[in-house]
Amino acid sequence: MLRQSLFALTALATATPALAAEVNIYSYRQPELIAPLTEAFTEKTGIKVNTVFLNKGMVERLKAEGKRSPADVVLTVDISRLAAIVDAGLTQPVISDSLKAHVPASLRDPDGQWYALSTRARIVYASKTRVKDGEVTTYEALTDPKWKGRICTRSGTHAYNVALTAAMIYHHGVEGAKKWLTGLKANLARKPQGNDRAQVKAIYAGECDISIGNTYYMGLMLKDPDQKAWADSVRIIFPTFENGGTHVNVSGVAMTKAAPNRENAKKLIEFLASPEGQQIYAQINNEYPVAPGTKPSDLVASWGSFTADDANLMKLARLRPQALKIIQEVDFDQ
């Protein structure tokens, strides 16, 4: 795997604009998760797709490469990282009637700097045997003393929880969000640790009764023989904000400012947002497609429906520093 990654990095580093039949992606989403999409795009257009997976540091890398960057397109798994790339001046607008038709206005930058490709909800996983139907209704209610010692979550400083806290600031202000974090911390069954799936494992083991996580992890657990029992022990609940809907985040795409293969990059972005690309996305990633009329997979649909919160995603992204600050102030991870 390391040798393959090094080979891919070398291939991108030596790419030149003359190679007009290719397009280069820097991705926070692992290549195997987008391979069916890129393969379908290549089959349709004849344009080769080179993908480099970056676990972190995309902004720093793009800045260091500057105008010589081989990256044409960036893929991110949350709005805060996408906003950071845009705010750093590392993207360029993509104006397209196709994209306007396939990506709702609420899920794209008004100036065309980024487009959402899928959404996921930040929900509650609840024990089927220890939590009754209707017991969890809102995010705010997670501070109720009845949940003391019954909640598990990953680190408060992880991007997904920072985004949720930013949404709490959006709805209740800094002090309201700080009070919520303090109440949530008081109800934790253990120190925040692991990823979203680790929290469901803890519910299965009886360490807690509910956890906070993203919807798509249910699909990942059900496909893993070693984790299916964890998934079978819980059900998904879609809480809402008291004055809003269910918190959602997005995976998104943008064209880099230095893109050496701009036309190919535009074609790729249009394909990813098209009904054809969206259908593939929906099937492989257990997320909700953004293109109107494109249905989620049968598995995702079986989890139920929800009304997404209408908070502006870029506003939430720009509340991230405040959210991280209060997470640290309440010493959430301790």
Tokens of 204: 């299965």
Is 70 exceeded by the pLDDT of residue 294?
A: yes
CA separation for the pair 303, 215 (Å, rounded): 9
Query: How high does pLDDT run on average in the chain?
Result: 92
Q: Is the separation of the CB atoms in 282 and 219 below 8 Å?
A: no
Confidence class for position 5, pLDDT limits 50, 70, 90:
very low
The verdict on 104 and 210 lying in the same domain is no
Any domain includes 282: yes
Give pLDDT, residue 20.
Answer: 53
What is the C-alpha to C-alpha distance for residues 200 and 227, in angstroms, rounded to an integer?
9
Q: Percent of the chain beyond pLDDT 90? A: 83
Mean pLDDT computed over 269-295: 92
Tell me how many domains the chain contains. 2
For residue 334, being part of any structural domain is answered with: no
What is the pTM (predicted TM-score) of this model?
0.85
Nearest to 62 by CA among 73, 51, 50: 73
Q: Which residues contact 36 (CB under 8 A, 6 or more apart)?
A: 280, 284
**Does one domain contain both 147 and 87?**
no
Query: Which residues 6+ apart lie within 8 Å of 12 measured at CB?
Result: 24, 50, 52, 70, 71
Which residues are paired to 122 by β-bridges? 214
266 and 325 share a domain?
no
Domain extent, residue 286, equals 2-119+249-301
Residues 58 and 200 grouped into a single domain: no
> At residue 279, does pLDDT exceed 50?
yes
Asked if 109 contacts 291 with a C-beta cutoff of 8 angstroms, the reply is no
